[in-house]
């Protein structure tokens, strides 16, 4: 049974979509139990005006550089049985946590979502084509 859910947001410099990201967490049909935000030193000081009343329960300054370190720090601070990540410029669909929790309840051990670009004219708001990442990340 999928238990408590922790949402971890890592913020580095860009906060233009942060309010929408936090709002999308707050609008989940299966609410998250905890929101943790890890902030890099490069994040603008105006962050508090963006967070407002929809902010996370835990806000920490990043102790080590890099996204992986920030996510690890968020996991270390979390108390949830299920960990989910959201970048500061991403938005979740309203049923994301509900659907993923249902999958976990069926004994599936890892659940991933689909990425949809909404600001890149190259994809005109559509989904990435199947195999996009496997073709474009090989070196």
Q: In CATH, what number is assigned to the domain containing residue 72?
A: 3.90.550.10
Tell me, yes or no, whether 83 lies in a domain.
yes
Q: Quick check: 81 pLDDT over 70?
A: yes
Alpha carbons 9 and 81: distance in angstroms, whole number: 17
Lowest pLDDT segment from 54-58, 98-102, 114-118, 134-138: 134-138
| Higher pLDDT pick, 138 / 19 | 19
Say if 36 falls within a structural domain.
Answer: yes
> Minimum mean pLDDT among 5-14, 87-96, 124-133: which range?
124-133
Whether 20 is in a domain gets the answer: yes
3-state secondary structure of 84: strand
Is there a domain that residue 129 lies in?
A: no
Alpha-carbon span 60 to 74, nearest angstrom: 8
Instruction: Determine the structural domain holding residue 30 and report its residue range.
Output: 5-109
40 inside domain: yes
Residue 139 lies inside a defined structural domain of this protein: no
When divided into structural domains, the chain yields a total of 1
Lateral strand order in the sheet of 5-11: 58-61, 34-39, 5-11, 82-87
Whether the Cβ atoms of residue 125 and residue 118 lie closer than 8 Å to each other: yes
Q: Does any domain span residue 114?
A: no
| pTM (predicted TM-score) | 0.76
Q: Which residue has the higher pLDDT, 24 or 130?
A: 24
Using alpha carbons, select from 21, 26, 32 the residue that is nearest to residue 81. 32
Q: Summarize the confidence of residues 21-36 as an average pLDDT.
A: 92
In a domain, 95, yes or no: yes
Residue 1 has a pLDDT of: 59
CA angle 136, 138, 139 (to 5 degrees): 120
């Amino acid at each position: 049974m999928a238990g408590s859910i922790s949402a971890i947001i890592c913020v580095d410099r860009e906060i233009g979509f942060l309010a929408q990201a936090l709002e999308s967490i707050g609008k989940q049909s299966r609410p998250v139990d905890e929101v943790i935000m890890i902030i890099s030193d490069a994040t603008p000081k105006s962050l508090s005006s963006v967070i407002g009343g929809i902010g996370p329960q835990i806000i920490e300054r990043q102790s080590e550089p890099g996204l992986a370190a920030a996510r690890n720090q968020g996991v270390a601070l979390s108390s949830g049985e299920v960990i989910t990540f959201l970048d500061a410029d991403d938005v979740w669909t309203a049923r994301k946590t509900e659907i993923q929790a249902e999958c976990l309840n069926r004994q599936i051990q890892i659940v991933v979502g689909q990425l949809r670009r909404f600001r890149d004219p190259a994809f005109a708001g559509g989904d990435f084509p199947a195999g996009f990442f496997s073709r474009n990340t090989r070196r």
